Amino acid sequence: MTSFCIKCSIHMNIYPRGIKDVLLLMKLKYNAQKLYITENGIGELNNSSLSLQEALVDTTRINYHYHHLSFLKEAIQDGVDVRGYFAWSLLDNFEWGAGYTIRYGFNFVDFNNGLKRHAKNSALWFKNFLKK
Protein backbone atom coordinates (compact mmCIF):
# COMPACT_ATOMS: atom_id res chain seq x y z
CA MET A 1 0.00 0.00 0.00
CA THR A 2 1.28 3.42 -0.80
CA SER A 3 1.10 6.29 1.63
CA PHE A 4 -1.24 9.15 1.02
CA CYS A 5 -2.28 12.38 2.63
CA ILE A 6 -5.80 13.77 2.56
CA LYS A 7 -7.40 16.90 3.95
CA CYS A 8 -10.59 16.58 5.89
CA SER A 9 -13.23 19.20 6.37
CA ILE A 10 -11.64 20.68 9.49
CA HIS A 11 -8.37 21.48 7.71
CA MET A 12 -6.19 18.83 9.30
CA ASN A 13 -3.63 16.99 7.27
CA ILE A 14 -4.07 13.24 7.56
CA TYR A 15 -1.06 10.93 7.12
CA PRO A 16 -2.02 7.29 7.81
CA ARG A 17 1.55 5.97 7.53
CA GLY A 18 2.37 8.18 10.51
CA ILE A 19 0.69 5.70 12.84
CA LYS A 20 3.16 3.01 11.73
CA ASP A 21 6.12 5.39 11.90
CA VAL A 22 5.30 6.47 15.46
CA LEU A 23 4.67 2.92 16.64
CA LEU A 24 7.99 1.73 15.20
CA LEU A 25 9.75 4.69 16.82
CA MET A 26 8.20 3.83 20.18
CA LYS A 27 9.38 0.23 19.84
CA LEU A 28 12.88 0.90 18.53
CA LYS A 29 13.83 4.01 20.51
CA TYR A 30 11.99 3.38 23.78
CA ASN A 31 11.45 -0.41 23.73
CA ALA A 32 7.75 0.29 24.29
CA GLN A 33 5.55 -2.72 24.91
CA LYS A 34 1.81 -3.25 25.11
CA LEU A 35 0.84 -0.16 23.14
CA TYR A 36 -2.72 1.08 22.75
CA ILE A 37 -4.11 3.59 20.27
CA THR A 38 -6.62 5.23 22.59
CA GLU A 39 -8.27 7.69 20.21
CA ASN A 40 -8.14 7.86 16.43
CA GLY A 41 -10.77 9.27 14.12
CA ILE A 42 -11.78 11.90 11.64
CA GLY A 43 -14.38 14.60 11.95
CA GLU A 44 -16.55 15.97 9.22
CA LEU A 45 -18.37 19.27 9.30
CA ASN A 46 -21.98 18.99 10.34
CA ASN A 47 -23.97 19.77 7.20
CA SER A 48 -27.59 20.35 8.18
CA SER A 49 -28.64 20.58 4.53
CA LEU A 50 -28.06 16.83 4.01
CA SER A 51 -30.91 14.38 4.23
CA LEU A 52 -30.57 11.66 6.85
CA GLN A 53 -29.73 9.11 4.15
CA GLU A 54 -27.00 11.38 2.76
CA ALA A 55 -25.57 12.00 6.24
CA LEU A 56 -25.15 8.26 6.78
CA VAL A 57 -22.80 7.99 3.80
CA ASP A 58 -19.39 8.67 5.35
CA THR A 59 -16.91 7.19 2.91
CA THR A 60 -14.16 9.52 4.16
CA ARG A 61 -14.38 7.95 7.63
CA ILE A 62 -14.26 4.43 6.21
CA ASN A 63 -11.18 5.28 4.13
CA TYR A 64 -9.55 6.97 7.11
CA HIS A 65 -9.87 3.95 9.39
CA TYR A 66 -9.08 1.46 6.61
CA HIS A 67 -5.76 3.13 5.81
CA HIS A 68 -4.78 3.69 9.44
CA LEU A 69 -5.61 0.10 10.35
CA SER A 70 -3.64 -1.15 7.33
CA PHE A 71 -0.53 0.66 8.57
CA LEU A 72 -1.24 -0.49 12.11
CA LYS A 73 -1.26 -4.07 10.81
CA GLU A 74 2.11 -3.47 9.14
CA ALA A 75 3.54 -2.18 12.43
CA ILE A 76 2.30 -5.32 14.20
CA GLN A 77 3.85 -7.48 11.47
CA ASP A 78 7.10 -5.57 12.09
CA GLY A 79 7.01 -6.64 15.73
CA VAL A 80 5.25 -3.77 17.50
CA ASP A 81 3.13 -5.06 20.41
CA VAL A 82 -0.14 -3.20 19.81
CA ARG A 83 -2.91 -4.43 22.10
CA GLY A 84 -5.79 -2.17 21.13
CA TYR A 85 -7.17 0.43 18.73
CA PHE A 86 -10.00 2.64 19.90
CA ALA A 87 -11.80 4.53 17.17
CA TRP A 88 -13.09 8.02 17.89
CA SER A 89 -16.03 8.00 18.18
CA LEU A 90 -18.98 5.70 18.68
CA LEU A 91 -21.42 8.62 18.43
CA ASP A 92 -21.48 12.16 17.16
CA ASN A 93 -20.84 14.20 20.27
CA PHE A 94 -19.95 17.57 21.76
CA GLU A 95 -16.32 18.50 21.03
CA TRP A 96 -14.83 21.07 23.39
CA GLY A 97 -13.26 23.14 20.63
CA ALA A 98 -16.08 22.86 18.11
CA GLY A 99 -19.31 22.08 19.93
CA TYR A 100 -21.67 20.11 17.70
CA THR A 101 -20.24 21.50 14.44
CA ILE A 102 -17.99 18.47 13.77
CA ARG A 103 -19.26 14.90 13.57
CA TYR A 104 -16.84 12.11 14.53
CA GLY A 105 -19.25 9.26 15.18
CA PHE A 106 -19.83 5.90 13.57
CA ASN A 107 -23.43 6.65 14.50
CA PHE A 108 -25.32 9.77 13.47
CA VAL A 109 -27.02 11.53 16.37
CA ASP A 110 -30.09 13.52 15.39
CA PHE A 111 -29.76 16.47 17.77
CA ASN A 112 -33.13 17.83 16.59
CA ASN A 113 -35.13 14.64 17.07
CA GLY A 114 -34.67 13.32 20.60
CA LEU A 115 -31.02 12.34 20.04
CA LYS A 116 -32.10 9.38 17.92
CA ARG A 117 -29.14 7.34 16.67
CA HIS A 118 -28.64 5.99 13.14
CA ALA A 119 -25.75 3.76 12.07
CA LYS A 120 -23.59 5.38 9.41
CA ASN A 121 -21.99 3.29 6.68
CA SER A 122 -18.75 3.41 8.68
CA ALA A 123 -20.45 1.66 11.63
CA LEU A 124 -21.40 -1.24 9.39
CA TRP A 125 -17.95 -1.29 7.80
CA PHE A 126 -16.21 -1.30 11.20
CA LYS A 127 -18.50 -4.06 12.49
CA ASN A 128 -17.60 -6.23 9.48
CA PHE A 129 -13.92 -5.35 9.84
CA LEU A 130 -13.94 -6.54 13.46
CA LYS A 131 -15.52 -9.85 12.45
CA LYS A 132 -12.59 -10.68 10.14
Catalytic residues: 39
Distance from chain centroid for Cα 106 = 9
**Pairing outcome for strands 35-40 and 44-45:** unpaired
Are 5 and 13 spatial neighbours (Cβ–Cβ below 8 Å)?
Answer: yes
Nearest to 31 by CA among 72, 89, 80: 80
CB 44 within 8 A of CB 60: yes
Q: What is the largest CA-CA distance in the chain?
A: 50
**Burial grade of 65 (CB within 10 A; 0-12, 13-18, 19 or more):** buried
